[in-house]
Structure 1
Amino acid sequence: MAVGREIISRLKDQVTSDLRIMHVCGTHEASIAKHGIRSVLPPQLNVVMGPGCPVCITPQGEIDVAIDLAAEGCIITTYGDLLRVPGSKGSLESADGDIRIVQGIHKAVEIAKTTDKDVVFISVGFETTVPTVAATLLQEPPENFSILCCHRLVPPAMQWLLDQGEADLHGFILPGHVCAVMGYEEYEQFPVPQVVAGFEAEDLLLGLYMLVAQINAGEAKVENAYPRAVTREGNRKAKELMYEVFSPSDIEWRGFPVIPGSGLALKPGFEGYDALKRYEMTIPHIEDRSPCICDRLLRGLAEPTDCPLYGTACTPRSPVGPCMVSHEGACRIWHQYHR
């Protein structure tokens, strides 16, 4: 704690103007809220959340397709966080059909080996979960197994945010989990201050201090405040597996339009495991007409308490928007810690 107090003291000396810093990791938001980090920062330093929750940015169309596959008799396997995310037809929790929570793709494959029914795994997540999926598909799962590929890549979303300029950002705290796999060299393309941070309170405070120092020096580079887990090149073997099976694709994010190169598609040699191709389906675009402001939260333009539904019509027991569903969602996190 002495280290943390020293960093806080130095931050208060260094922050002399209004700064907006965005993180793009749900676990960072959970750590910030749990440790009350915003309460000890200088008032001019505003840390906002971005599209760092993979469940939150899964659009309604992908949920609708999963519900349709369940209605056609497929066994749908999914992470628990995705079960209550709303689509336009309801959620997987309220849908008819055989829908099962699994801990990962390997458990979904085990189910496929014990049944004659078709099994579909909703393959969701940022770069952190993709290598495991790739490794599993390389092991040639049974023919009755396929995935609904819902993966997203972080850097293209950051590029979109920078191009729009709507959040008026001065720098980014980069996601430690993603960078542990991918490294941080691909973030060096962005002409903005960036720091990779870990997840303990001191990790985040150090990351913020390094970022403020970089801003004050007029620099724009990537620095690593999480060297015990992250290197510039990342996990080369994991990346090789990922790009052996997947290639970048254009994809829609909830709260965003279609972002070029921000998704992953199975390469031709693995398309037999693509549920969309197997069942001749496409992901529809659904216009969201809910008063929920999750789209603005994911772009760093609002806080959970700005939403008229927060804590009243929308709670963890009865979520209206995806940010109240996932443990990495800002609204769920704030509801748990901001009392």
Structure 2
Amino acid sequence: MKYLDEFSNPDLARKLLDQIRDTTTQRWAIMEVCGGQTHSIIRHGIDQLLPDSIEMIHGPGCPVCVTPLEIIDKALEIAARPDVTFCSFGDMLRVPGSESDLFRIKSQGGDIRVVYSPLDALRIARENPDRQVVFFGIGFETTAPANAMTVYQAKRLGIHNFSLLVSHVLVPPAIAAIMESPTCRVQAFLAAGHVCSVMGTEEYPALCDKYQVPIVVTGFEPLDILEGIRRTVEQLEKGEHHLDNAYQRAVRPEGNLPAKQMLDDVFEITDRGWRGIGTIPDSGWQLAPKYREFDAEHRFHVHDLHTDESAICRSGEVLQGLIKPHECAAFGKQCTPRTPLGATMVSSEGACAAYYLYRRLEIQEATHA
């Protein structure tokens, strides 16, 4: 109960809000990078409690949301094959591809299984040597170590009917891409605490210096986020721009060294496409050459698929922080969690899903007022 009680204490929240109000003299736009932080902000109404002069911009920190349509279509093509058992976390099953999704492939007879760890997929491969077992490996630096360990174990144990469909992306290059966009309004960042718990904080000071922005590493509970905002506003008001770790109970500067060693062994840096944003140089991982035999894209020869984004979905603008979810005309109408047009509506960390779950009634009331 520690984090539910201590880090959701309303009295402490009021004190932090008072400190933020007392400190704020100008208008500031702060981006929370992580989708988990976005959900916490919307669920607890933190953005509504802040002074009107502070705007929270929801960033591209939802791993499901930024997985490019091309990769989704590759997953669908592989999952539809009769000799394949396709394993994934549950939040990927309803993400729309160009013409279908994994739920529909499953309903048509595809062997698609929801697992809770990539090692579950490896076990399935070991128990079914006559089938090709593929795990859909998506996410930021947080989920990558487990996927790297699974590939390492597959090679060590000689389980050659296992492969990984890789779509891993990295946070620091995304921050750089956001700051270099001509439409950028972001003046500071709340960095994702769980990413930094793996990778550490060594890459962020250079970003602070280059782009003259404060970056505060923050957790996910209400008081974590409010403290992160308080520290960010203090820097902005003083004209400072440095890295501040407000999540020291989980994040060390050096990160998780064994996890980083595993990542360095199994993966190598590559350019990656981000759904709604485009290709960001050196912003992702792919399997290193010595593990290439476990790369599902190479094993199943799925390359250069033609993809078509929804003509009315504006999730790309949501991911870039250019609009709020309810500013899309399809929000809550053509696009709902049951009939999503984009990944931001279906993902458990998507901004559109957060607004639909926690804000749609008040948005409807404001629209009809």
**6, 11, 34: which is aligned to 2:20?**
11
Q: Distance in 1 between matches of 2:306 and 2:34?
A: 25
Q: 1:300 aligned to 2:321? A: yes
Would the alpha carbon gap of residues 250 and 101 (structure 1) be closer, same or farther in structure 2, given more than 3 Å must change?
same
Map of 2:127 onto structure 1: 114
**224, 228, 244: which is aligned to 1:223?**
244
- Counterparts of 1:44-55 in structure 2, within 5 Å, are 44-55=53-64
Give the secondary-structure state (helix, strand or coil) at the position aligned to 2:55. Answer: strand
What's the offset of the Cα at 1:165? 4.1
Q: 1:170 aligned to 2:187? A: yes
Map of 1:94 onto structure 2: 104
Q: 1:185 aligned to 2:198? A: no
What's the offset of the Cα at 1:285? 5.7
Give the secondary-structure state (helix, strand or coil) at the position aligned to 2:19. Answer: helix
Preserved contact between residue 121 and residue 133 of structure 2 (Cα < 8 Å) = yes
Q: 1:204 aligned to 2:204? A: no
- State which drifts further: 182-191 or 121-130: 182-191
Give the secondary-structure state (helix, strand or coil) at the position aligned to 1:185. Answer: coil
Q: Distance in 2 between matches of 1:28 and 1:99?
A: 30
Amino acid of the residue matched to residue 238 of structure 1? A
Map of 1:132 onto structure 2: 146
Q: Distance in 1 between matches of 2:304 and 2:254?
A: 34
Amino acid of the residue matched to residue 22 of structure 1? M
Q: 1:279 aligned to 2:289? A: no
Would the alpha carbon gap of residues 165 and 11 (structure 1) be closer, same or farther in structure 2, given more than 3 Å must change?
farther
Q: Distance in 2 between matches of 1:309 and 1:121?
A: 32
What's the offset of the Cα at 1:281? 2.2
Aligned pairs, how many?
A: 339
**275, 294, 308: which is aligned to 1:254?**
275
- State which drifts further: 112-121 or 135-144: 135-144
Give the secondary-structure state (helix, strand or coil) at the position aligned to 1:93. Answer: helix
- 1:124-166 Cα offsets, whole Å, 9 max, x none, are 1110011111112222251110010011111111111111141
Q: 1:145 aligned to 2:145? A: no
Would the alpha carbon gap of residues 21 and 128 (structure 1) be closer, same or farther in structure 2, given more than 3 Å must change?
same
Map of 2:31 onto structure 1: 22
- 1:264-292 Cα offsets, whole Å, 9 max, x none, are 01111101100111122225363424211
Q: Distance in 2 between matches of 1:222 and 1:129?
A: 24
Preserved contact between residue 64 and residue 87 of structure 1 (Cα < 8 Å) = yes
**75, 83, 93: which is aligned to 2:85?**
75
Amino acid of the residue matched to residue 95 of structure 2? V
**328, 333, 336: which is aligned to 2:354?**
333
Q: Distance in 2 between matches of 1:251 and 1:128?
A: 17
Q: Distance in 2 between matches of 1:305 and 1:241?
A: 41
Ranges of 4+ aligned residues in structure 1 off by more than 4 Å: none
Map of 1:291 onto structure 2: 312
Structure 1, unaligned runs of 5 or more = none
Q: Distance in 2 between matches of 1:216 and 1:15?
A: 7
Give the secondary-structure state (helix, strand or coil) at the position aligned to 2:104. Answer: coil
Preserved contact between residue 175 and residue 197 of structure 1 (Cα < 8 Å) = yes
- Counterparts of 1:31-42 in structure 2, within 5 Å, are 31-42=40-51
Would the alpha carbon gap of residues 327 and 3 (structure 1) be closer, same or farther in structure 2, given more than 3 Å must change?
same
What's the offset of the Cα at 1:39? 1.4
Map of 1:213 onto structure 2: 234
Amino acid of the residue matched to residue 325 of structure 1? V
Amino acid of the residue matched to residue 203 of structure 1? D
Preserved contact between residue 310 and residue 341 of structure 2 (Cα < 8 Å) = no
* Between structures 1 and 2, the one with greater helix share: 2
Amino acid of the residue matched to residue 113 of structure 1? R
Amino acid of the residue matched to residue 329 of structure 1? G
Preserved contact between residue 73 and residue 307 of structure 2 (Cα < 8 Å) = no
Structure 2, unaligned runs of 5 or more = 1-9, 362-369
Percent of aligned pairs with the same amino acid: 42
Map of 2:367 onto structure 1: none
Q: Distance in 1 between matches of 2:335 and 2:301?
A: 35
Give the secondary-structure state (helix, strand or coil) at the position aligned to 1:136. Answer: helix
RMSD: 1.2
State TM-score, norm by structure 1: 0.97
Amino acid of the residue matched to residue 195 of structure 1? V
